[in-house]
C-alpha cells in the first residue's frame, strides 16, 4: 500500500485540483517523466458513482504533478494511488485519501 501523503475532503459537486511536489525526493539533475493515477474505494457502499482523475499534468519544472479530481459518492472514502517515474528510472508510489461530502447544490 502506498504511503498516504494527505487526507482531504471534497463535495460531490466540486472539481478540485491537487498538486504534489516531488522536488525533495528527486536527486540532482533528476526530473519526473510521468505520473499515473489509479483510484480505489476504501470505505462506503458498493453502488457508487465513481470519482475520477481528469488529468495528471507535470509542472514546467518537471518536479510537480497536478491532478484534477471530479465526482464521487457522498460518504465514500477513496484513495488515489500515484506512481511517479523519473529520468533515472526510479518509481515512487504515494496516495491521497479523499472523503466525499454532500454539496449544497442540488
pLDDT at 1: 61
For all residues of the chain together, what is the average pLDDT? 93
Q: What is the DSSP-derived secondary structure letter of residue 82?
A: E
- How far does Cα 88 stand from its chain's mean position? 23
In this structure, is residue 87 part of a structural domain? yes
Range of the domain at 59: 3-101
Question: What's the distance, Cα to Cα, between the start and end of the chain in Å?
Answer: 36
* Grid cell of 38 as nine digits: 489509479
Q: Is the pLDDT of residue 106 over 60?
A: no
CATH, residue 34: 2.60.40.10
pLDDT at 68: 97
Burial of 70 (0-12, 13-18, 19+ CB in 10 A): middle
Which tens digits make up the pLDDT trace of 72-92?
999 999 999 999 999 999 999
Cα angle value 83/88/93 (rounded, 5°): 15
Which tens digits make up the pLDDT trace of 34-63?
999 999 988 888 878 899 999 999 999 999
In this structure, is residue 47 part of a structural domain? yes
Structural domain total, the chain: 1
* Grid cell of 13 as nine digits: 459537486
In this structure, is residue 106 part of a structural domain? no
Amino acid at each position: 500500500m502506498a504511503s498516504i501523503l494527505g487526507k482531504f475532503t471534497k463535495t460531490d459537486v466540486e472539481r478540485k485540483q491537487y498538486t504534489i511536489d516531488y522536488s525533495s525526493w528527486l536527486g540532482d539533475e533528476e526530473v519526473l517523466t510521468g505520473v499515473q493515477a489509479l483510484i480505489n474505494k476504501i470505505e462506503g457502499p458498493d453502488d457508487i458513482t465513481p470519482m475520477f482523475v481528469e488529468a495528471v499534468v507535470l509542472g514546467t519544472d518537471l518536479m510537480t504533478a497536478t491532478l484534477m479530481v471530479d465526482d464521487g459518492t457522498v460518504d465514500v472514502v477513496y484513495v488515489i494511488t500515484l506512481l511517479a517515474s523519473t529520468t533515472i528510472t526510479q518509481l515512487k508510489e504515494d496516495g491521497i485519501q479523499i472523503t466525499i461530502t454532500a454539496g449544497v447544490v442540488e
